[in-house]
Amino acid sequence: MTTTAFGLQRQFDETMILPSQRLGPLRESVIREMTRLAIQHNAVNLSQGFPDFAPAPEIIAAAQRALGEGFNQYVVSWGDPDLRQAIQNYMQKWYALAYDATRHITVTCGVTEAIVATLMATVHSGAEVIIIEPYHENYLAACVFADAQPVFVALEPPRYELDLDRLRRAFSKKTRAIILNTPHNPTGRVLTRAEMEGVAALCREFDAICITDEIYDQIFYVDRAHIPMATLDGMYERTVTIGGLGKTFALTGWRLGYACAPETLTPAVRTVHDFMTICAPAPLQRAAVTALSMPDAYYAQLKRDYRLRRAKMMELLEQAQLRATAPEGAYYVLADFSEWAREMDDFQFAEYLTKQVGVAVVPGSSFYHTPGLGKTQVRFAFAKKLETLDAAQERLMRARH
């Protein structure tokens, strides 16, 4: 029997053959563990980043139709042709990006798999990959699987701007790739054109690949639109543009993502994907064509709804004296709890909030590699019904007063 960071008991037979050393520092996802702890303690779950509201009914109906119409066997490994065409159309329509369904697009089991497949397909063993921290925990795991050497560059509160001088110092001859996530989980930053240009210039100078995570491309609160890295000068050839349907269409359990890569890299990405998963779920790929055909009004409503959720989130943080910078995009906020509980670290505070207050959050330091960072922060996810956020507000207020 072993005990995890939050005291969950796990069966472990000490006489078992030990797992591979390859996993090194990797341990179970703290975020997923928080969700289990939330269930155990009946807490409002603002830890894991999934919507607690339903997807659009026409998307659900399309999935039901697909099951009935016989889309139940493997499809071509790199994706249902109609879905790849829909992704091609999406990229063209929103970003004027010319990715070709046949030559450039691979449908994957979520962005998670797309990141792993891309790193394994493009990064040579031992090469360096730059990760901006705080980071989505999957990036380090992907580096471990790909036998890549992660190099971390931190964004600092409260503005979380990308310090291009610091980033330059992280680049070297050994740099093969940088993973760039905008809109950003967990800070909510939407990188400016100047920041994107700065990254692009370094990628060109050091002949590095940019692997982007654009899963929140439709969720932002600022006037500037999302800028895909591949649209910048000289970047199309050296960028793998990764996106997914889970967040935009509230379908995180469907496990659908995609990687759009230049022709030089696509066969390698497809090979890794093929041998890891064969293909993403076939009937859900059919239904995803309907999702990607939603009218513009869907995206406008999405932004309006998220604005309301963000306003509610910021209001409840303010009332609870949890200090936070309002996110520019995505659906998370990192909040500093030192005015509430100076004596606790982030794991203790997350545990206290979950077990005693009844609101589950994620410890800030789990998004950082550099020791000491994130120790006074926790992350709240607000892709939730307003009633859910109200319930969290009520519990936080009760604990505060």
Ligand X SMILES: Cc1ncc(COP(=O)(O)O)c(C=O)c1O
Binding residues for ligand X, rule: CB under 6 A, are 49, 110-112, 136, 138, 181, 185, 213, 215, 244, 246, 252, 257
Q: Decide: 212 and 119 in contact? Cβ < 8 Å.
A: no
Strand 332-336, strand 239-244: pairing: unpaired
CB of 273 to ligand X, least distance (A): 13
Q: Which is nearer to ligand X, 31 or 320 (CB)?
A: 31
Q: How many residues does the chain have?
A: 401
User: Which value, in Å, is the radius of gyration of the alpha carbons in the chain?
Assistant: 21
Burial class of residue 294 (count of CB atoms within 10 Å of its CB; 0-12, 13-18, 19+): middle
Instruction: Give the rounded distance of the alpha carbon of 310 from its chain centre.
Output: 18
Between the CA of residue 43 and those of 46, 185, 290, 367, what are the distances in Å?
9, 22, 34, 22
Q: Which is nearer to ligand X, 306 or 340 (CB)?
A: 306
Least spacing, CB of residue 172 vs ligand X, in Å: 25
Name the β-bridge partners of 329: 220
Three-state secondary structure call for residue 211: strand
252 vs 393, beta carbon nearer ligand X = 252
Closer to ligand X at the Cβ: 110 or 281?
110
Closest approach, Cβ 240 to ligand X, in A, equals 14
Least distance to ligand X, CB of residue 34, Å: 13
Least distance between ligand X and beta carbon 69 (Å): 25
Q: At what angle do helices 386-400 and 296-319 cross, to 10 degrees?
A: 10
Nearer to ligand X, 44 or 288 (CB): 288
In what side-by-side order are the strands of the sheet with 105-108?
105-108, 257-260, 239-244, 209-213, 175-181, 128-133, 149-154
Least Å distance, CB 381 to ligand X, is 8
Question: Can you give 6-20 as a three-state secondary structure string?
Answer: CCCEECCCCCCCCCC
CB nearer ligand X, residue 252 or residue 377: 252
User: Around Cβ 165, how many Cβ atoms within 10 Å?
Assistant: 7
Query: Among residues 112 and 393, whose Cβ is nearest to ligand X?
Result: 112
Rounded to the nearest angstrom, the gap between the alpha carbon of residue 44 and the centroid of all alpha carbons in its chain is 21
What's the min distance (Å) between Cβ of 91 and ligand X?
17
Residue nearest to ligand X (CB): 110
In the bound complex, what is the minimum distance in angstroms from residue 143's beta carbon to ligand X?
A: 14
CB of 187 or CB of 266, closer to ligand X: 187
